[in-house]
Amino acid sequence: MAAENNQTEEKTKGPDFIRQIINEDLAQGKNDGKVHTRFPPEPNGYLHIGHGKSICLNFGIAEDYKGVCNLRFDDTNPTKEDQEYVDSIIEDVRWLGFDPEIFYASDYFDQFYAWALELIDAGKAYVDSQSADEIRQSRGTPTKPGVDSPYRTRSVEENRDLFTRMTAGEFEEGSCILRAKIDMAHQNMNMRDPAIYRIRKESHHRTGDKWSIYPMYDFAHGFEDAIEGITHSICTLEFENHRPLYDWFLNNVSAPCHPRQIEFARLNLSYTVMSKRKLLELVTEGLVAGWDDPRMPTLSGFRRRGYTPASIRRFAREIGVSKVNSLVDISFLQFIIREELNENADRAMAVLDPLKVTITNYPEGQIEELEAENNPGNPEAGCRMVPFGREIYIERDDFMEEPPRKFFRLAPGKEVRLKHAYFITCDEVIKDNNGNVTELLCSYDPATKGGDSPDGRKVKGTLHWVSAEKAVEAEVRLYDNLFSLENMDDMEEGKDYKDYLNPESLVIRKAMVEPSLVDAPAGKSFQFLRQGYFCADTGDHSSAHPVFNRTVALKDSWAKMQKKNK
RNA sequence: UUGGACGUCGGCAAGCGGUAAGCCACCGGGUUUUGAUCCCGGCAUUCGCAGGUUCGAAUCCUGCCGUCCAAGCCA
């Protein structure tokens, strides 16, 4: 009943502007009613969550319309590309939950070449022997028209000859390029005789040394789409100015079809950078531990941090798609993974900053196993046994000698509950010579076993703990934002993005964790009670040396209240 | 007078001429053996600004303002 009400009352979100365009195309009977998209990364780095948005968009549309989405490597520039990157991209796309057919732009080099010849023969392309510098000078500016190259009027025969020799490797890099002959005075600078082929005497990761010329993005991309029968070529906003060129190439060659380019706003996340150049720099300069460092906004980074594919997919769906340049708050992503892990992650106890507590009236040498539920929201998750003894550790933050108002935790003379165990009261505080608290002497109430008092007396605080004797030491890595600036586009004049690296983005703790955690398989997520969600690290965790990464902390309204009062 | 794109709550984002959805954040209140979760309630008389058209405008028109993209032989 309630569910029915929900369905009728809940307004459903309309299709995004891209799906609206597709719907219109379909209504007009275009593309035989088919929808075919593609995700076309250049293999020059690891995928980040911005790519994740694009992947979910393109594959999501294909699913919605019972169409297909290709994974295509846009490998037209051998200088920056590498097989390591294509491997990682395939892994990441599959991890996100998609299993596409894989294509390579480099497989189309022969066809591109034939189309270049077509343009030359039609008098629509020419070999320009000016230097890169001269070409730049003569291109003009947004407000000033460019001037024609002196080589613009070369004959078809001469262009063919020169282009053939370029291809044969007769010329040095930079000595000449093939250009489209369009309009040097065009308002759109991309139309001022753009480069089509440049000479690169470098080995390509797939075609080896077969080619000494490589096609430019603008020339190649529409053709790649057309060859694969793409109907909607979805890309980011900065390519808006390239669309006229995309169309021009398709219109001036015998292409099999004419895909429609649609642009959307790329994802920006607060407190991080999203450019491949910068991410590569962080890796090569050792500022992070690698592409999959849990602080990185890469898909592999999020994976190692403990994010699930479903959480990334949901994030992509909920931020939507539009043409507005926007900055999405990283806390929105955190909200989503918290919600998922709250439902699915087993609870466990871990003390990150241990303070020893001796329960003076508890029998010496005795250890008892107490039952602990794995997930209070899900009885099917079952229970586990947790060892309890005379000596335990609690969180140092959970004790204050002179507590402020409303401090519900341990303090001299105060009683609290140890989760799943007993009520204890703090009787005595032991300090070292410097006045630092080193140990607490407490007494427990045997009648409160399990955490309930038979006399009905209430206690405000419930603490997590571990048995000092049975607990296991673990390395716990606490991650925070990689950068300290919310919007990395707001850097001060003269400052570099690296000036904003957050020195506390990684804090390592020697924690004491309950013994059940040593058996945790790498990658498995837990909620460490009252702390946050942690996963066993996929790189370094083992039973002999447990390592847990904090995916995200729990909400902490006590900490928030404290901060406000300051 | 360069061209193009975009401006709806603190952050995303619906809305497409019939009188401002939703989510996050935030602020109350309740439940709770996690100060978590969960539950209940509040949160844009106004859509960059100014005019105009209309019975009626966030939606149409005009002008202005602001932001982003564009001068790679990168993608």
Q: Could you report the per-residue pLDDT of A413-466, keeping only the tens digit for each?
A: 999 999 999 999 999 999 999 999 999 999 999 999 999 999 999 999 999 999
Cβ of residue A53 lies below 7 Å from strand B: no
Cα angle A219, A222, A223 (rounded to 5 degrees) comes to 80
Measured CA to C1', the nucleotide nearest A41 is B75
| Among chain A residues 348-367, those with CB within 7 Å of any atom of strand B | none
Question: Which protein residue has its CA closest to C1' of B10?
Answer: A329
Report residue A5's pLDDT band, with 50, 70 and 90 as the boundaries.
very low
A431 is known as an active-site residue: no
Q: Could you report the per-residue pLDDT of A332-357, keeping only the tens digit for each?
A: 999 999 999 999 999 999 999 999 99
Tell me the whole-structure pTM to 2 decimals: 0.96
Q: Are strands A547-553 and A472-479 parallel, antiparallel or unpaired?
A: parallel
Measured CA to C1', the nucleotide nearest A146 is B71
Asked if A212 and A169 count as a contact pair (C-beta separation under 8 A), the reply is yes
Question: Tokens 């920056």 correspond to what residue?
Answer: A80
Among A130, A211, A209, A220, CA closest to A177: A130
Cβ of residue A457 lies below 7 Å from strand B: no
Among A320, A282, A316, CA closest to A301: A282
Torsion angle of C-alpha atoms A392, A393, A397, A398, degrees rounded to 10: -20
A276 is known as an active-site residue: yes
Report residue A12's pLDDT band, with 50, 70 and 90 as the boundaries.
low
pLDDT of A3 higher than 50: no
A239-CA/B69-C1' distance, Å: 8
A187-CA/B60-C1' distance, Å: 29
Q: Which bases of chain B are contacted by protein, using any atom under 7 A from a CB?
A: 2-8, 10-16, 21-27, 33-38, 67-75
Average pLDDT over residues A59-80: 98
Q: Could you report the per-residue pLDDT of A523-560, keeping only the tens digit for each?
A: 999 999 999 999 999 999 999 999 999 999 999 999 99
Separation CA A251–CA A261 (nearest Å): 14
Separation CA A72–CA A507 (nearest Å): 39
A486-CA/B25-C1' distance, Å: 15
Question: Which protein residue has its CA closest to C1' of B75?
Answer: A217
Whole-complex ipTM: 0.97
Separation CA A327–CA A490 (nearest Å): 12
A157 is known as an active-site residue: no
Catalytic residue among A139, A152, A198, A266: A266
